[in-house]
Amino acid sequence: MEVVQEYMQGLYDSGLYPDHYICHQKRGNLVEIEEEATGVRREVLTFCTNDVLGLVQSKAVKQAAIDAILQYGTSNSSCPTLSGRIDLHRQLEREISAFKHLPHTHLFLNAWMAMQALIDGFCHFAAPVRGFHNDRETLIMTDVLNHGCIVSAVVNAGTRSGRVFSHSAKVRVKPYRHCDVGDLARKLRRYAKPGDRIMLVSDAVFSMDGDITPLPEMLDVLENYPGSVIVMDEAHASGALGATGGGIYEHFGIRPQEVQRRGMVPIIMTTFSKFAASAGAAISSHTKELTDLLDVCPTSIGTISLPPPTTAAALEAIRQVRQNPELVQTLQANTRYLRSRFIEHEFEAIGETNVIPVILPEEINPKLFSSQLIEEYGLWVSPIWFIAKPRMRVVANALHTKEDMDRLVAAMVATRNALYRPKTMVAT
Ligand SMILES: Cc1ncc(COP(=O)(O)O)c(C=O)c1O
C-alpha cells in the first residue's frame, strides 16, 4: 500500500485529483450540490449531465421504475442465463431492436461489460465444443481516441477467457489515427492477412471531442474485406443523432441492412445512461447466434442481470423518445445555438454534437475555471484536465433554455477575462 499512498499523495499535491460534489436534489437542470471537501451547499444550473433528453425526472419514467420494483422487487438476484431473466428484459431488447433496425439484442449492466463480452466472446469461444476448431486469427482495428471501455476490451483481447481455458486463435489489435479513413485503409492493406476475421470498432460520437466517426467512408474501405464486422459504440449517438435520435446510421441516412447487403456485419452498442434515463447497455446485430454467444460467454454468466427498475426506466424512456422525436430536435437546436454562441465569442468549441468541448488557452487551469463558474455564477460544467487536452466539457441537453445558454456563455466570457490575458496584451 505504501506505493499507492505515495502515488496518491503526489496526485493530491499536484492538483490532479478531482474535486467532488454530492447531489442532494434535482429540479430540471437546477441541482443542489454539496462540495464534499467543505460541506458548502448551493443550487447550480448544470451543463454536466448526460441526461441529454431530460428524461431522468420524467413522471412516466419514474413511475415505470416504481411499478417494476412493486412487481419484481429491487433485483433479479441471478445472472440472465440462470434465473435472472424477466419479461421486462425481453421487452427492452425488442424495443432496442426496433429502434436500431437490428433484430437481435442482448442486455448488459453497462458499456464496459457489453464491450468486454462482445470482444471476448467474438475472439475466443470459451466453452469447448466437440468437433469445433477455429484457426482464423482476428484483426481488430480501433480508433486511437476510442472510449476506455473499447480500449480495455481490445487490450484484453489477446489474453481473455478463450486463451485461459482452451486453444484460441491469435488476436491482433491495430490502432488507426483518429477518424482518419486513409490511415485505416493503409493499416488494413498492411496488416490484414487472408482468412483474418476483421472487426472495426469505434465510438460513433467521441465522448471527449464530440465529433462523429466517418461511417460512410469507413464502410467504403471495409467493403474490400468481405465479412468484416463493424461495431459502433452509440453511447452518445443514441437519442442525439438523426432526426428521430436513431443514432449514427440515421444521421448518415444508411440502414444497417444496407451494410449487410454490401457484405459487412453491422453491430451496435446502445447504452442507457445518456438518452434513456437509466443505466445498462445492449449489443444488437442481425445474428441470433451472436446474441446466444453473448448469453453464455463468461462476462454474462458471471454477473447479475439488469435490475428491474433500471430495465423499466430504460424501456419507458426509449418509448418516450420514439413517441416524441421533438425531444431530439430540441436537443439538436440547443446544440447548434450553444455552439454558435461560443464561436461568436471566440471560444474554441470543437466537435459537432451536444457534447461541446471548449478548449481553453493552456495558461488556464480548467479546474480553476470550473470552480469560478460554480462559486461566482452558480453554473456547473465539468473540467477535463488529464484524460484529454485541457478543456471545459459542456453538455447541452433538451431542457436548456436560451436564457440558460446565454447565461453560461456570458459567465464563461467573464471568467476567461478574469483568468486570462493574451500574451500580446501582456507584452504591451
Ligand atoms: C463512447 C462511450 N462508450 C461507453 C461509455 C460508457 O457508458 P455507460 O456509462 O453507459 O456504461 C461512455 C460513457 O461516457 C461513452 O462515452
122 CA from centroid of ligand 1 (Å)? 20
* In the predicted structure, residue 406 carries a pLDDT above the cut 90: yes
* In the predicted structure, residue 420 carries a pLDDT above the cut 90: no
Alpha helices in 83-179 (DSSP H): 87-100, 111-123, 148-155, 161-165
pLDDT digits (tens, 9 = 90+) for 224-240: 999 999 999 999 999 99
pLDDT at site 363: 85
Residue of 273, 283, 306, 353 with the most ligand 1 atoms within 8 Å of its CB, for mutation:
273
CA distance 13 to 241: 41
204 CA from centroid of ligand 1 (Å)? 11
CA distance 47 to 384: 14
- Considering the segment(s) 59-323 as one domain, its CATH architecture is 3-Layer(aba) Sandwich (3.40)
Nearest one of 299, 271, 277 to 203, comparing CA atoms: 271
Q: Which residues line ligand 1 (CB under 6 A)?
A: 110-111, 147, 149, 203, 207, 233, 235-236, 271, 273, 281
Is residue 415 within 8 A of residue 370, CB to CB? The reply is no
98 CA from centroid of ligand 1 (Å)? 22
pLDDT at site 16: 84
* In the predicted structure, residue 386 carries a pLDDT above the cut 80: no
pLDDT digits (tens, 9 = 90+) for 111-145: 999 999 999 999 988 778 888 888 899 999 999 99
CATH 3.90.1150.10 is right for the domain spanning 14-46+325-427 = yes
pLDDT at site 427: 46
Is residue 342 within 8 A of residue 393, CB to CB? The reply is no
Nearest-Å Rg of the Cα atoms of the chain is 23
Domain ranges of the chain: 14-46+325-427, 59-323
Amino acid in position 141:
M
417 CA from centroid of ligand 1 (Å)? 34
pLDDT digits (tens, 9 = 90+) for 355-376: 999 999 888 899 999 999 999 9
Residue 221 has which C-alpha cell? 474501405
